């Protein structure tokens, strides 16, 4: 979920103990010994007075090009450590900053690292300590809902137990987070063995499915995916498999940093095509990194390949890297295997977690999962709102 805004709600109150200036920056010394550096241009840009913007919604009513890059204060003062006030040259514009807000947005290296969310990577051993929660707890308590969102944030996956195995349940639950996404398979998709439909989706076949992220051929693949189990096979077939793409990335990075770098730099091509109705194509690196080099997005799909379109000299090294990657994500050491039972619902981040399944026995094709998805933005938004409500 990117930067951790939980800081906003934490009870520690910071006070300004001293302020120093140079020609371009303000140095704020805090009561806990920390020093923040704020450039004048940054401070002026972040004035949220009623002239500069709408203080309630943070909307801006001026352009940064209206402010000289070398803007300087006429005066700086702070009130009992809780408020910082600046009068700017040359027009005497007044900006007032709340000390807590300043500290929460301090962009020193230590504070930026402190705000960075660190996901918890996992492998098959997670089975002994699953991120899970009871349905009633999520429905009835904000704390339960927050716990679910935290599991999604930290592990990329959460199992919800005791969801009545009835058709209407998934839609109502998923919509409580945000609108259902329209996909090639509709907004709600029935995952059952159905030879008639299997040309549209391999999910409707009986074959085993190698772990993958969904709809890699789209510009914006679905965010949070829901599987709700209505019926299960009773012969142990059709087990669900989940793999932590972040963990795979780190293992590969440690073992072969050049292979990892190739998969971060060059694009894999994906295509979804069927019968004159759909021809979607997209190319993307397997791993997208943030500016700190952390993996923020994973796109892996052997189900919808298109020919690699890479420089000649990259083809062979890329295949070496791609094969190594596949050896990781098909290694059961990284599998979370679960026989979903009626009443189980699993939610996972399709930009991090790969999913697959074992084949479905010919004699036993009762398995019925219902599928839908909601954009990740709504989950992050809910999480921030619930954290801010101090539940
Ligand atoms: Fe899938």
Q: Please give the distance, rounded to the nearest whole angstrom, from the Cα atom of residue 75 to the centre of ligand 1.
A: 60
d(CA 80, CA 76): 13
pLDDT at 11: 56
pLDDT, one tens digit per residue, over 345-364 is: 999 999 999 999 998 877 77
Q: Please give the distance, rounded to the nearest whole angstrom, from the Cα atom of residue 354 to the centre of ligand 1.
A: 8
pLDDT at 167: 92
pTM: 0.91
pLDDT at 226: 98
119 contacts 155 by C-beta, under 8 angstroms:
yes
Q: Please give the distance, rounded to the nearest whole angstrom, from the Cα atom of residue 355 to the centre of ligand 1.
A: 6
Q: Beta 295-298 vs 287-289: how paired, if at all? A: antiparallel
pLDDT, one tens digit per residue, over 292-326 is: 999 999 999 998 889 999 999 999 999 999 999 99
Q: Please give the distance, rounded to the nearest whole angstrom, from the Cα atom of residue 367 to the centre of ligand 1.
A: 15
The helix (H) or strand (E) run that includes residue 200 is: none
d(CA 155, CA 37): 34
pLDDT, one tens digit per residue, over 363-382 is: 777 889 999 999 999 999 99
pLDDT at 318: 98
pLDDT at 80: 80
Average pLDDT, rounded, for the chain: 92
pLDDT at 293: 95
Structural domains in the chain? 5-115 (3.30.2020.30), 124-388 (3.60.130.10)
pLDDT, one tens digit per residue, over 254-290 is: 999 999 999 999 999 999 988 778 899 999 999 999 9
pLDDT at 197: 75
307 contacts 242 by C-beta, under 8 angstroms:
no
Q: Please give the distance, rounded to the nearest whole angstrom, from the Cα atom of residue 77 to the centre of ligand 1.
A: 58
Q: Give the angle 272-277-281 at the CA atoms, nearest 5°.
A: 30
Q: Please give the distance, rounded to the nearest whole angstrom, from the Cα atom of residue 191 to the centre of ligand 1.
A: 10
> Greater confidence, 155 or 207?
155
Q: Please give the distance, rounded to the nearest whole angstrom, from the Cα atom of residue 376 to the centre of ligand 1.
A: 17
pLDDT at 6: 38
Alpha carbons within 13 A on the beta-carbon side of 370: 22
pLDDT band, residue 9 (cuts 50/70/90): very low
pLDDT, one tens digit per residue, over 91-142 is: 999 999 999 999 999 999 999 999 999 999 999 999 999 999 999 999 999 9
d(CA 379, CA 387): 12
């Amino acid at each position: 979920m990117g930067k951790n805004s939980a800081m906003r709600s934490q009870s520690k109150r910071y006070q300004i103990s001293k302020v120093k200036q140079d020609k371009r920056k303000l140095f704020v010394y805090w009561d806990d010994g920390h020093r923040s550096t704020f450039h004048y241009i940054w401070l002026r840009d972040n004035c949220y007075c009623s002239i500069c913007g709408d203080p309630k919604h943070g909307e801006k009513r001026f352009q940064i090009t209206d402010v000289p890059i070398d803007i300087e204060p006429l005066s700086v003062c702070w009130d009992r450590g809780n408020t910082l006030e600046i009068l700017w040259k040359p027009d005497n514009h007044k900006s007032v900053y709340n000390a807590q807000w300043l500290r929460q947005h301090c962009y020193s290296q230590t504070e930026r690292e402190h705000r960075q969310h660190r996901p918890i990577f996992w492998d098959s051993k997670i089975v002994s300590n699953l991120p899970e929660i009871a349905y009633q707890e999520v429905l009835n308590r904000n704390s339960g809902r927050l716990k679910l969102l935290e599991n999604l944030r930290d592990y990329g996956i959460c199992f919800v137990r005791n969801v009545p195995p009835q058709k209407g349940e998934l839609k109502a639950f998923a919509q409580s987070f945000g609108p259902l996404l329209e996909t090639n398979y509709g907004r709600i998709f029935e995952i059952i063995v159905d030879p008639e439909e299997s040309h549209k989706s391999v999910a409707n076949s009986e074959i085993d499915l190698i772990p993958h992220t969904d709809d890699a051929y789209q510009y914006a693949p679905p965010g949070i995916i829901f599987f709700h189990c209505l019926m299960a096979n009773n012969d142990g077939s059709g087990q669900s498999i989940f793999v932590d793409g972040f963990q795979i990335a780190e293992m590969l990075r440690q073992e072969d940093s050049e292979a990892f770098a190739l998969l971060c730099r060059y694009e894999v091509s994906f295509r979804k095509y069927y019968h004159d109705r759909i021809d979607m194509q997209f190319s993307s690196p397997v791993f997208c990194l943030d500016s700190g080099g952390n993996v923020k997005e994973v796109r892996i799909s052997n189900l919808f390949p298109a020919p690699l379109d890479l420089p000649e000299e990259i083809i062979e090294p890329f295949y070496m890297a791609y094969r190594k990657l596949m050896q990781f994500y098909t290694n059961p050491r990284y599998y979370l295997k679960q026989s979903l039972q009626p009443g189980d619902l699993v939610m996972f981040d399709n930009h991090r977690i790969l999913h697959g399944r074992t084949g479905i026995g010919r004699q036993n094709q009762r398995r019925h999962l219902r599928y839908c998805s909601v954009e990740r933005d709504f989950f992050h938004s809910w999480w921030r709102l619930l954290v801010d409500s101090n539940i």
